[in-house]
Amino acid sequence: MPAVPDRNTAMSASQQQPGAGAVRAPASKVGLYAETSHAALRLSFATTDDDLARAIASHAGERVQRALDAIPRRRYVKQATPIERLDNLSALLGGAEMFVKRDDLLPLAGGGSKTRKLEYLVQAAIDAGADTLVTCGAVQSNHCRLTASAAARERLGCHLILEERVAGSYDPAAGGNNYTFGLLGATTAVVPAGGVPEEEARAMATLRAAGKRPFWIAGGGSTELGSLGYARAALEVVAHAREHGPFDAIVLCSGSGGTHAGMLAGLRAAGDRTPVVGISTRAAAPAQAAKILALARDTVSKLGLGGAGAGAVVGERDVVVLDEFVGPGYSLPTAEMAEAIELFAREESIFLDPVYTGKAAAGLIDLVRSGELGAGKRVLFLHTGGAPSLFHYQTRAPSPARAPEATTAREVRAATVTAAAAVAARHATDATALRLALGLGAGAPK
Ligand SMILES: Cc1ncc(COP(=O)(O)O)c(C=O)c1O
């Protein structure tokens, strides 16, 4: 079974949109598409199957856009993020043509995916009359940084609950995202793994007792409301593909799930069948897939586009999760992650992060190298941000290879790839050895 389904065989029920129908006249190759779900009746005529498919997709996309626009949001995102071709990396790996969508360049401090979710979530907080945002995340959480950033922009208070998912990983003096929490004016509380619900109840009660009006934002912003941000992003991808050609796959991070679920919901509701491959950063694939399916369907329902049921829009086979790039655990380094960070930096001048996009890019690189996404295919990598945490982890994730004898850029690149692959092969199954190889010491990271 290939990890990435073929876009042409992944026929999803999303083709049958409520209130829409297609009639073909094969002999004359004239098609008629009528959309009746809104006040106006719209007709499109097509002379080829391709034209008809395009007309259906365009109407479906407009319907999703209208549904999204009907739900209030803050306007942090002013324009579609760029989609760039990864020329050097594509040439180096010799497989699929690789592209990156630069959601790391989104607005709010330090950029990244959470800005899209927060457009909807912060609006809900403001509509509820809140004066303080409260949320949670890991000790180097990008979601916490961006929630604090949105709060600063909106002149709201912000309280962050930092969960020490890896014992001993919290360092009050740490840089990276940790440094930015206070800089943006947020207060913080640190809890051990599993301690968030108790601290959430305590913090909300304490704030209320102090006369505040706190609003809880779920971890990662991954509710059906937050996921709408990625249904919007999906429409940007659909519009780009219409102009520049379709992708054979989209590869992205699958963590708390809103990015993956929202992207799937938006694509399928818009009639786009591009396979979406989620690279898990924490959970085992079956559990992660179940979470993504439920959240994607909830997102479709939130948009009011489920028709006969959200299950008719996003099917089980739409959800693809790979968990082999998690390594020893959430936020713990792998040689493949270190190599991916190095390759993106050296080849494309793009910073990834060690916890999320480094591991997702390791998955992308593996799919390209293995031929799963081979020559002749086009793959889009969604860069969800996170680079500020690189400046925390950088002292602990040194470059996998140095090649003093290499003189040309090509030799340096070849040596880097070979050495990193050798490190990965030697230590991939031995977490302690891997940690030592990466210069991390045998104990838990700080
Ligand atoms: C940089 C970055 N990429 C990806 C993700 C994962 O996104 P999601 O939580 O929507 O699955 C996160 C989550 O915190 C993140 O910070």
Do residues 136 and 219 touch, judged by C-beta distance below 8 A?
Answer: yes
Section 187-191 average pLDDT: 98
141 tagged catalytic? yes
Contacts of 170 (CB under 8 A, 6+ apart): 139, 162, 164, 190
Q: Is the pLDDT of residue 285 over 90?
A: yes
Question: How far apart (Å, rounded) are the C-alpha atoms in residues 393 and 178?
Answer: 11
**If you take atom 6 of ligand 1, which residue's CA is the nearest one?**
255
Residues 6+ apart with CB under 8 A from 349: none
Q: Which candidate in 14, 141, 222, 256 is catalytic?
A: 141
Enter the tokens of residue 44: 């499109």
From 297, 296, 285, 290, select the one nearest 259 (Cα to Cα).
296
Statement: residue 430 has pLDDT above 50: no
Please check the confidence at residue 137 and state whether its pLDDT lies above 70: yes
Atom of ligand 1 nearest to the CA of 385: 1
pLDDT at res. 24: 38
Neighbours of 108 (CB within 10 A): 24
**Residue 6: predicted pLDDT:** 84
pTM for the predicted model, two decimal places? 0.85
Least confident of 2-16, 47-61, 106-120, 401-415: 401-415
Which residues on adjacent β-strands are paired with residue 160?
135, 188
Q: What is the pLDDT of residue 345?
A: 96
Comparing 130-134, 205-209, 407-411, the range with the smallest average pLDDT is 407-411
Determine the residue type at 320: V
Among 155, 116, 156, which Cα is nearest to 134's?
A: 156
Q: What's the pLDDT band for 311 if we cut at 50, 70, 90?
A: confident
Domain 114-221 sits in CATH 3.40.50.1100: yes
- Higher-pLDDT residue of 97 and 407 is 97
What is the reported pLDDT for 429? Answer: 36
100, 103, 104, 114, best to mutate for ligand 1 pocket (most atoms within 8 Å of CB): 114
Ligand 1 near 387 CB (within 6 A) = no
Asked if the model's pLDDT at residue 445 lies above 90, the reply is: no
Centre of ligand 1 from the C-alpha of residue 385, in Å: 8
Q: Which of 100, 113, 140, 228 best tests ligand 1's pocket when mutated (most atoms within 8 Å of CB)? A: 113
Which CATH architecture best describes the domain 43-111+224-446? 3-Layer(aba) Sandwich (3.40)
Residue bearing the bigger pLDDT, 335 or 405: 335
| Start-end of CATH 3.40.50.1100 domains in the chain | 43-111+224-446, 114-221
- What is residue 17's predicted lDDT score, i.e. its pLDDT? 41
22 has pLDDT over 50: no
Task: Encode pLDDT of 102-111 as tens digits.
Answer: 999 999 999 9
142 CA from centroid of ligand 1 (Å): 8
The pLDDT, as a whole number, for residue 54 is 72
The CA R_g of the chain, rounded to the nearest whole Å, is 23
**Pocket of ligand 1 contains residue 386 by CB under 6 Å:** yes
pLDDT computed for residue 55 by the predictor: 74
- The helix (H) or strand (E) run that includes residue 17 is none
Residue 132 has pLDDT above 60, yes or no: yes
Cβ–ligand 1 contact at 256 (below 6 Å): yes
- Residue nearest ligand 1's atom 1 by CA: 386
Class of residue 188 by CB neighbours under 10 A (exposed 0-12, middle 13-18, buried 19+)? middle
* Average pLDDT, rounded, for the chain: 85
So what's the pLDDT on residue 260?
Answer: 98
CA-nearest of 381, 397, 436, 309 to 103 is 381
Residues 218-265: pLDDT tens digits? 999 999 999 999 999 999 999 999 999 999 999 999 999 999 999 999
Q: Is the pLDDT of residue 334 over 80?
A: yes
**Mean pLDDT computed over 152-167:** 97
* CA pair distance 268, 277, nearest whole angstrom: 14
